[in-house]
Amino acid sequence: MNSFSLKTLQIEITTKCNFDCAMCLHAQNSLERNEISIDLFTKIAKEVFSGLDHLILYGVGEPLTHPNFLTLLDISRTYLPPHAKIEFTSNGSLLTADFLEKILKYKVDRIIISVDSPFLAKSRKMREGFNPEVFKNLKVLAEAYQSGKIPDLAIETVVSKQNLYDLSYLVEFCAEMGIPKIFLSHLLPYTVEMEKDSLFLPISADAFTLLDKIGELGWEILNQVILTPNYHKFINSEHNSQIQQILNSISEAQINNIDFDLQKIMDVIQKKQTIKNAQRVFKEISNLAEKNHILIDLPPLFAESTQRECPFAARNGLFISFDGNVIPCYNFGHEHKVVINHHERLVKPYILGNLNDPNISFKDILQSSKVKRIHSVLNSISRQVPFCGDCVYSTQNCYYITDNSSDCYGNTPGCNECLYSVGFVKCLFDI
């Protein structure tokens, strides 16, 4: 089993927030609203910061609401090696010019601001609490970036049906502001309504093409059955061209090792136009971003199981919640539900240890066989972890889809329906 060397650490410094965003975990769960103590943060810093390349200071909450945010930055710079980068994501409402000036004294390498639309009314609808000060502060941030006071600046956008057609205007907005990067992430569907509002399908592109073809042929057959008095003869006919095409398509898919679930034909039919619209808009904004010299990171619309990557394992990373729990990744930080593959999945916290325990050191956790095992598996997630998207059992009440306890390969915890691993939802950013 390979050894584990921590290089990326995300610390949730607070779960408090001054916004009430519809897509946030806070809107779905009654999470405790609290912040990490200075003592605990200092303990972590002394133990492991010296080996880090990347420190990320945010989680489920607005980091700037922490009353000692500047102290946390000071502690970070004290114990981090000179090359290590500090990053945080903010809603931007508290990032005034005066506060930014104080923050930049600690050599923060990247600030990411959550903005879903350049239009105030839409932003207020999606993020309750959003106000014009965000745009004002963003302008100050952009000026700081342009003058070289901050190395990197980006916008993070949660994309759904609600704001799909705002994206081209958002690219133009960033071009006018001088913001160099945009990260797009799909809506994480905590509810059935949110799943309907999302733009993606958790199946492969090949499965989508196959199911779309079968669906279209199926409608043709249904129409003919309705118009044919002796429909049973029509259905049983070996010479019916549509039925033969369906059977041939299924045989061809099996020969080419394309997994698919016929239960998802209606998903494809219902979301086909949405996906086509998203493909068109994504192409448009990609060209627009290139024209304006903006780097844009677009999420996929389909899930390719052979191309999965665990963002935390790939970066030798871990997540620490505000209360000291050490966790393999952001997704396992707090209990929540996700709607996927026709069912509701309970995602429970998976805790490697708690740093408030005086008998546990962070280094003990890092050297544990549990951490090494998890990272060994997740570093080859495409081979060692199943993906349920195209599996026929994912819509049939399979034992391994109700929660993240385990998967059908015997892995614990279960990452078999992780939307982060297929790139739909983003937790860590590279470009």
pLDDT digits (tens, 9 = 90+) for 259-270: 888 889 999 999
Q: 0.85 cut: is pTM over it?
A: yes
* Residue range 195-203: mean pLDDT, rounded: 97
**Per-residue tokens: 131:** 């106000």
Q: What percent helix, strand, coil does the chain show, rounded to 5? A: 45, 15, 40
Amino acid at 351: I
**How far apart are the C-alpha atoms of 219 and 90, rounded to whole Å?**
48
Closest C-alpha to 275, from 169, 88, 424, 104: 424
Q: Is the pLDDT of residue 196 over 90?
A: yes
**Per-residue tokens: 198:** 């999302």
Strands 295-297 and 181-186: parallel
Angle between the N-to-C axes of helices 265-291 and 167-177, in degrees from 0 to 180, rounded to the nearest 10 = 20
* Residue range 67-79: mean pLDDT, rounded: 98
* Residue range 350-378: mean pLDDT, rounded: 94
Q: Is the pLDDT of residue 5 over 60?
A: yes
* Residue range 381-407: mean pLDDT, rounded: 95
Rounded percentage of the chain residues whose pLDDT exceeds 70: 94
What pLDDT sits at residue 2? 60
For residue 324, give Cα distances in angstroms to 37, 187, 332, 333, 361. 9, 27, 14, 11, 11
What pLDDT sits at residue 260? 87
Give residue 248's pLDDT band: very low, low, confident or very high (50, 70, 90).
confident
pLDDT in tens, 128-170: 999 999 999 999 999 999 999 999 999 999 999 999 999 999 9
Closest C-alpha to 110, from 143, 155, 72: 155
**How far apart are the C-alpha atoms of 197 and 282, rounded to whole Å?**
17
Q: Is the pLDDT of residue 218 over 90?
A: no
**Per-residue tokens: 192:** 């059935």
Q: Is the pLDDT of residue 238 over 60?
A: no
> 402 and 394 in contact (C-beta within 8 Å)?
no
Given its phi and psi angles, is residue 83 left (phi above 0), alpha (psi -120 to 50 degrees) or beta? alpha
Exposure of 31 in the CB half-sphere (CA atoms within 13 A): 25
Strands 325-327 and 317-320: antiparallel
Rounded percentage of the chain residues whose pLDDT exceeds 90: 82
For residue 165, give Cα distances in angstroms to 127, 129, 157, 237. 17, 22, 13, 47
What pLDDT sits at residue 186? 98
